[in-house]
Structure 1
């Protein structure tokens, strides 16, 4: 199943919530009466600079969720910039020419010097690394080491000195003083999202802070923050076996496809990020013509529209790269689809065993996308699903099994993705043969259940259970203004029209047991399954791969 909003959940939840609302509006697109009920409380407008805004009135409390998404994520990076979208998200919390500084004019002179010195520091580090790799003479390595230390010391001194101008976390303080909840941001492969919830009479505070953030970023503290991001990678990826397996798995199955590279970036890229590089990515992707705002809650629409026009209206669009509206279904270069093939990826790293099985599938809004979501929820996600009953309860060969349909993004070809944790005695955890046998047993059982569906189909009761479960889950989840705002901005960003969410809900009710059987036969084949396995580190010998090294079988 999809793990969280706003994927399928975002797509269907608003529609499920419609049952609670009255209706009158007649939109441009043909909708069922159910969808008209929600549209009565939502509307969209576009500023002259291309910024799209969606309003949705709900609830009685005078609070609002305010979400802004940029259609720029990991899939928009060049090979040289892998990880820079996530790094830029960090930097946009470092203030502007107005926020986070006591004297920007004085600070700016320091920032220019820091950029120049950082280039010299990074060049000296590269020269030292090359000399060490080439096994240069000891005196050469010693000379280069001294040069690195000189520039490191200079960087430390000037960054310590420039701190006298800074006001750390001024935006967080302002939001806290005005009653914020959930102030945060996230980057994925498709987009970057900035979010907060505030009392409705404090929306002007949001408009001031966020418009300034996106119009006047400074990217201060860049070179100290890249150390923070490198440590984040070390803790969350390199020290976590399942995360490292995920990264290597995606690299192998996707290759040069936009979903292949690491989202946070490889360490060798992070350690050499520079401020002009992040500024270039910002200039190419951050603009009102590539952004969407949603305001959800109880608020004065005329007043908030005026605030958005006042504060965001002079945000300058990016230089045009084409005639299509960003976020439309036609604004991307045709995808070079990943190759359908059988893939095996092994990663050796300490940690609890983990395995992945995956098959490529078309993304939303392809007609098979939702059918595969229903299949995913019949197979896994709760105690009454087929794989849970087989692997966990009956055979007792897995501690957990989950399926995510639509991973790792929805702008391009994605995956029907299964993860499982084998049950092994403690003494077998370091035994490669025993761990591999555990994975083999799970794979065999998974295919037996898939092929049973291909032969016999699923029952009408299973399909009905999934539909009812989705409706219940979504109504409960979208009692939150934040979840609604996340969903509205997500689909306005991905497809160019947030109402695609509503159209898709009707499709759920048309899915039959025969549809589910058909997509199982079409997509979940043995000869195109892709597998990733986490294996224990090998015994020390000259031929064994190092921890974390990827192996193909």
Structure 2
């Protein structure tokens, strides 16, 4: 199973342009199979705080605008009458295509007490529909109905302390579940796609849920049929309870049984007081255990509506043919208004916050600072700051903490944690070498951060980071997958896919004065959250 709990990204917002390509993961969850869609895993949360890259991006020409202009001319956008948007990027070098369905919904949209629904729904979206994934839906449906009834009755009997009743109901539940399992066509979505030489996967994040396919280009209509069917009449009750157990095991493995997983969860709970970014995207154990198919169905009906979906297709396709088929398959969806966001605004932090855990683990130091969202004009400045400080052998933190002072084994930074649609955190983390303390690391880290406030960055150093980002963009232009994800995300989060091409102009416009200004506004003690993971005392 490909996993993803919190998508791993290198140090700058080439995250959106490069990390999408490498598809490693941290703050988000996924879940699709290498061999089976029934089992899924979640990558370890700590990776979000520990993302490290020592790879240096090759330099490129100072101007890549001609490449971008040619790419822009190959993009076609259209909307269906129900509000669903399509973005098509023509690339005819090879007879393949990459498809992304971007749902503008994630863990932040879950109500308190029902965390984990976005991730759970993404798991269940591979279980099939009333036609796909079943041998006989008319025989399967009453069994699924009965399982729902029995699950509710078991909860009531447990609450009333009726253990004999619980045992009787549980025995019937297992019998009905076994009968229902015999009617399931395991992993039929995956089997259909793999038989064509394609692949499919998905990822749940705090701000979004992304479903993606790679297929031969002549399978365009097959994709249209499968993907439109998936969200037209999904059957979320199929293998619901088995999947719940899989997710609970994921949580135990990646959080309860992982020191850095626990640190990640506790750190975000400390850094955020009211915003949903404080909650784990995989959900809390009690919430996951109590979720029902009706909860997931209601969440789906609220957020998986045409106006909340953006589809990007990149590869050897014809935009006119895409639009023709899209009308046939996707205009079957009923139009609904986009749901109103009721997400609370995180108040300004006014004093240092700290969380310390003692576990069987190597010492780890983490600190984060609140920063604005992706849409803020200073967003590129944070990417530059992250690139200056970390990572790789030429970065300031690596040279100072690892090479010169030999205080740290390695250093890491992420300019946007846990996601970037809303105001978030810029994070730094590091692990100690033998004989040194976390407090020594913290002091050395603060010295480097203070330099950003007091000493203008040289033109040479700034240009190095800007060049690395340019190189990443060029690499992204060669990836169907990267372009599909970038185009759909910028369309959903910023209002236009074109903004993804403006990013380099914004990066190029960052000045040493901008870096000092943002550093002074951000890196203050009262805006700091600290996390310390210490070995257990004997």
Following superposition, the deviation at residue 256 of structure 1 comes to 2.1
TM-score, reference length from structure 2: 0.86
CA spacing shift, 1:6–1:290, aligned 2, 3 Å:
farther
Between the aligned partners of 1:530 and 1:126, the Cα distance in structure 2 is 40
| Aligned twin of 1:218 | 235
Following superposition, the deviation at residue 452 of structure 1 comes to 2.1
Between the aligned partners of 2:481 and 2:117, the Cα distance in structure 1 is 26
| Aligned twin of 1:8 | 13
Following superposition, the deviation at residue 68 of structure 1 comes to 0.2
Residue 185 of structure 1 contacts residue 192 of structure 1 at CA under 8 Å; is this kept in 2? yes
| Aligned twin of 1:41 | 74
Between the aligned partners of 2:122 and 2:457, the Cα distance in structure 1 is 44
Is 1:78 matched up with 2:83? no
Higher mean C-alpha displacement, 165-174 vs 309-318: 309-318
| Aligned twin of 2:519 | 520
Is 1:297 matched up with 2:315? yes
| Aligned twin of 1:193 | 210
1:382 to 369, 392, 409: 392
SS at match of 1:367: coil
1:204 to 196, 217, 221: 221
How far does the alpha carbon of each residue in 1:129-150 deviate from its partner, in whole angstroms, 9 at most, with x for none?
Answer: xxxxxxxxxxxxxxx4433333
Between the aligned partners of 1:338 and 1:263, the Cα distance in structure 2 is 23
How far does the alpha carbon of each residue in 1:333-356 deviate from its partner, in whole angstroms, 9 at most, with x for none?
Answer: 673445343110112322232221
Following superposition, the deviation at residue 471 of structure 1 comes to 1.2
| Aligned twin of 1:57 | 90
How far does the alpha carbon of each residue in 1:409-468 deviate from its partner, in whole angstroms, 9 at most, with x for none?
Answer: 11111111112122236xxxxxxxxxxx62111110011111122222221111000011
Between the aligned partners of 1:348 and 1:155, the Cα distance in structure 2 is 41
Following superposition, the deviation at residue 289 of structure 1 comes to 1.0
| Aligned twin of 2:369 | 359
Residue 490 of structure 2 contacts residue 496 of structure 2 at CA under 8 Å; is this kept in 1? yes
Runs of 5+ unmatched residues, structure 1: 24-31, 129-143, 323-330, 426-436, 540-553
CA spacing shift, 1:369–1:235, aligned 2, 3 Å:
same
1:98 to 94, 112, 131: 131
Residue 254 of structure 1 contacts residue 338 of structure 1 at CA under 8 Å; is this kept in 2? no
2:249 to 202, 223, 231: 231
Is 1:159 matched up with 2:177? yes
Residue 68 of structure 1 contacts residue 293 of structure 1 at CA under 8 Å; is this kept in 2? yes
2:267 to 238, 242, 249: 249
| Aligned twin of 1:428 | none
Residue 272 of structure 2 contacts residue 278 of structure 2 at CA under 8 Å; is this kept in 1? yes
Between the aligned partners of 1:5 and 1:125, the Cα distance in structure 2 is 48
Coordinate RMSD, CA, aligned: 2.4
SS at match of 1:307: helix
Between the aligned partners of 2:17 and 2:374, the Cα distance in structure 1 is 12
CA spacing shift, 1:319–1:12, aligned 2, 3 Å:
closer
SS at match of 1:43: strand
Query: 1:453-464 residue pairs with structure 2 within 5 A?
Result: 453-464=452-463
Is 1:67 matched up with 2:100? yes
CA spacing shift, 1:290–1:423, aligned 2, 3 Å:
same
Between the aligned partners of 1:506 and 1:164, the Cα distance in structure 2 is 57
Between the aligned partners of 1:503 and 1:472, the Cα distance in structure 2 is 15
| Aligned twin of 2:358 | 348
SS at match of 1:112: helix
| Aligned twin of 1:27 | none
Higher mean C-alpha displacement, 515-524 vs 386-395: 515-524
| Aligned twin of 1:262 | 280
Query: 1:497-536 residue pairs with structure 2 within 5 A?
Result: 497-536=496-535
Query: 1:109-128 residue pairs with structure 2 within 5 A?
Result: 109-127=142-160
Between the aligned partners of 2:135 and 2:451, the Cα distance in structure 1 is 68
Residue 10 of structure 1 contacts residue 484 of structure 1 at CA under 8 Å; is this kept in 2? no
Between the aligned partners of 2:186 and 2:67, the Cα distance in structure 1 is 48
TM-score, reference length from structure 1: 0.84
Runs of 5+ unmatched residues, structure 2: 1-6, 21-56
Count of residue pairs brought into register by the alignment: 490
Is 1:176 matched up with 2:176? no
Residue 103 of structure 2 contacts residue 210 of structure 2 at CA under 8 Å; is this kept in 1? yes
Residue 82 of structure 2 contacts residue 306 of structure 2 at CA under 8 Å; is this kept in 1? yes
Residue 6 of structure 1 contacts residue 490 of structure 1 at CA under 8 Å; is this kept in 2? no
Higher mean C-alpha displacement, 415-424 vs 146-155: 146-155
Between the aligned partners of 1:261 and 1:102, the Cα distance in structure 2 is 39
Following superposition, the deviation at residue 366 of structure 1 comes to 1.3
| Aligned twin of 1:401 | 411
SS at match of 2:495: coil
Residue 285 of structure 1 contacts residue 318 of structure 1 at CA under 8 Å; is this kept in 2? no
Query: 1:19-38 residue pairs with structure 2 within 5 A?
Result: 35-38=68-71
CA spacing shift, 1:91–1:491, aligned 2, 3 Å:
same
Following superposition, the deviation at residue 172 of structure 1 comes to 0.5
CA spacing shift, 1:216–1:338, aligned 2, 3 Å:
farther
Following superposition, the deviation at residue 179 of structure 1 comes to 1.2
Higher mean C-alpha displacement, 4-13 vs 234-243: 4-13
Structure whose CA Rg is larger: 1
| Aligned twin of 1:469 | 468
Higher mean C-alpha displacement, 43-52 vs 450-459: 450-459
CA spacing shift, 1:10–1:298, aligned 2, 3 Å:
farther
Following superposition, the deviation at residue 127 of structure 1 comes to 4.8
